[in-house]
Structure 1
Amino acid sequence: MEISDGQLIPERGDNALFSSWNIAFFGALALLIILPIVKPDPYWTILTFIPDGVLVTFEVTVISILLSLVVGLFVGLGRISRNILINRIATVYVEIIRGIPLLVQLFYIYFALGGILRLSPFISAITAMTICYGAYMAEIFRAGLQSIPRGQFEAALALGLSRGQAIRKIILPQTIKIILPPVGNEFIAMLKDSSLVSILAVSDLLRRAREYSSTTFEYFEAFTVVALVYLLLTLFFSKLVGILEERLDNRDSKKN
């Protein structure tokens, strides 16, 4: 059995009051409400200190996931291309990038290339995450494209469609439904990995907590709040992915 961030997505039909998702989400939410009431200093102070960090975390994650989807689509198409050169370039990109940790890529792009290209910390963070997750998205797109029966592609060609039209009008719409769960998983993973951009002085959620704790020395309290916020965000978006997947399935079943 494969274990991944997909395990966060609630099981279909699991609407029990004490389901694992409900316990985790509402338990974390309750703690985030109770702690500032019981002990306003420092918990309420921390909550008022980090909102801009949450916004930056969202900005980095959303921009990076959108760009990595574009990169992943083109590289994924390159991975199944019959052109040897394109196929080889796409494959080498995927193998190299997946073999280098995201943290190393962040350091390399900001410190090594940053001096040459003069990239800001924010742009460096988005670039590194796009390049890194683009490789993983490429494999998701490749697997999704190859899961569509070859006969559909051949039938589209027989009807007079070009290869590009067949992929765009016949193959990709079906692929999107197939790749939705793994893409959702990658979004959740990227949301958590975005905490690494704090090493580049990007004022994300983790960076703001570090700034607070470095002056007050209240590390336990600051990182407790950060952990609860990340948990709420990942559980919330995992729920959205599960709902979207279920709606797509229901729409397809109505068509059939």
Structure 2
Amino acid sequence: MGLIVYGAYSGAARMGYNWQWYNIPRYIYRFTDNGFQAGELIVGLGMTLFLSLGAFLLAVAIGLAMALLRLSNLVIGKWLSIALLEFLRNMPLLVLVYLFYYVLGPIFTWSRITAAVICLGAFHGALVSEIIRSGVKSVAQGQWEAAKSIGMTKGQAYRYIILPQAVPLMLPPLTNEAIQLVKSSAIVSVIAVAELTTVGRNLVSDTYMSFEIWFTVALIYLAITLTMSFGVSALESRIGRHE
């Protein structure tokens, strides 16, 4: 990070770049006659968090459905889950964004935000399905046999025995996936969703403060992901103490 900052400042000095850091606070917050108002970057951050949260909840739902199909005895369901998994995780996310917005969007009358949430949810749902499947598979086979011996159905075994043991093992990788999703959300700027990266690009076009705006955007993303990373570390430590 130090080398990147030093290189940026050295390059800007050679270009004769006029730094305007004093203008950055107005794009984060401002006080007007109506009181405090969030700046454009904070509004963009709010959209990024909204997209990330919506897409993550959808990803968990899709991932759970795909994982259960993969683990079921339904041949068609199992192969459908595998086909969907391989398609989504081997397709570039940028291509999926275009596919969901420009191809599926007009068919289902999706807005930009809807298409972005569904695209991110589907892409990360495929990855979440592998996390869930691995967590379920990590539970000892004897637990299944014990559930069956006391007359539990498969659904009851999942609800009362398997998932309570598997979920703590899934939480750290699921949180890591949430961090990846926050970073992936920047790609929906290509369809003009007004999230943080799009707002940053628009501000650069209006103000020509390329260095200041992009440094600020990078620091905001870094603050979000570091906060989540520390949360993952604390969660892993807590789970480790209870094992």
- Please give the range of the TM-score, normalised by the shorter of the 2 chains: 0.7 to 0.9
Give every structure 1 segment of 4 or more consecutive aligned residues whose post-TM-superposition deviation is greater than 4 Å: none
For residue 34 of structure 1, what is the aligned residue in structure 2? none
Determine the C-alpha separation between the residues in 2 that align with 1:84 and 1:130: 25
Q: Which runs of 5+ in 2 are unaligned?
A: 3-18, 29-38
Identity of aligned residues (%): 34
The answer on 1:170 being equivalent to 2:170 is no
Q: Specify the alignment match of 1:12 in structure 2.
A: none
Show structure 1 runs of 5+ residues with no match. 1-22, 25-37
- Separation (CA, whole Å) in 2 of partners of 1:116 and 1:76: 28
What's the offset of the Cα at 1:40? 4.7
Matching of residues 21-100 of structure 1 within 5 Å: 40-47=21-28, 48-100=39-91
Please identify, of 41-50 and 222-231, the stretch whose mean Cα deviation from structure 2 is larger. 41-50
Aligned-pair CA distance for 1:249: 3.6
What is the distance in 2 between the residues matched to 1:203 and 1:69? Answer: 24
Map 1:91-170 onto structure 2 (within 5 A): 91-170=82-161
Aligned partner of 1:205 in structure 2 is 196
Larger CA deviation: 40-49 vs 116-125: 40-49
TM-score, normalised relative to structure 2? 0.85
Alpha-carbon shift at residue 241 of structure 1 (Å): 1.9
Deviation for aligned residue 1:181: 1.3
Match of 1:35 in 2: none
Tell me if the contact between 2:20 and 2:212 (Cα under 8 Å) persists in the aligned partners. no
Contact 2:189 2:197 in 1 (8 A): yes
1:235 maps to 2:216: no
What is the letter of the counterpart of residue 43 of structure 1? I
Paired letter, 1:239: F
Residue in structure 1 matching 2:237, options 231, 243, 246: 246
Determine which structure has more spread, i.e. the larger CA radius of gyration.
Answer: 2
CA deviations 1:214-237 (Å, max 9, x no partner) are 111111111010011101110001
Which amino acid in the other structure matches residue 42 of structure 1? Answer: N
TM-score by length of 1: 0.81
- 2:214 maps to 1:223: yes
Q: 1:127 and 1:185 mapped to 2: Cα distance?
A: 20
Deviation at 1:199, TM superposition (A): 1.3
Q: Output the CA distance in 1 between the equivalents of 2:99 and 2:211.
A: 31
The residue aligned with 1:28 is none
Matched-pair contact (CA < 8 Å) for 1:53–1:203: yes
The CA RMSD over aligned residues, in Å, is: 1.9
Displacement of 1:158: 0.5
* Structure 1 residues 16-65: Cα deviation after superposition (integer angstroms, max 9, x where no partner): xxxxxxx99xxxxxxxxxxxxx9553322333331000000000001111
SS in 2 for 1:116: helix
Structure with the larger RCO, 1 or 2 (CA within 8 Å, 6+ apart): 1
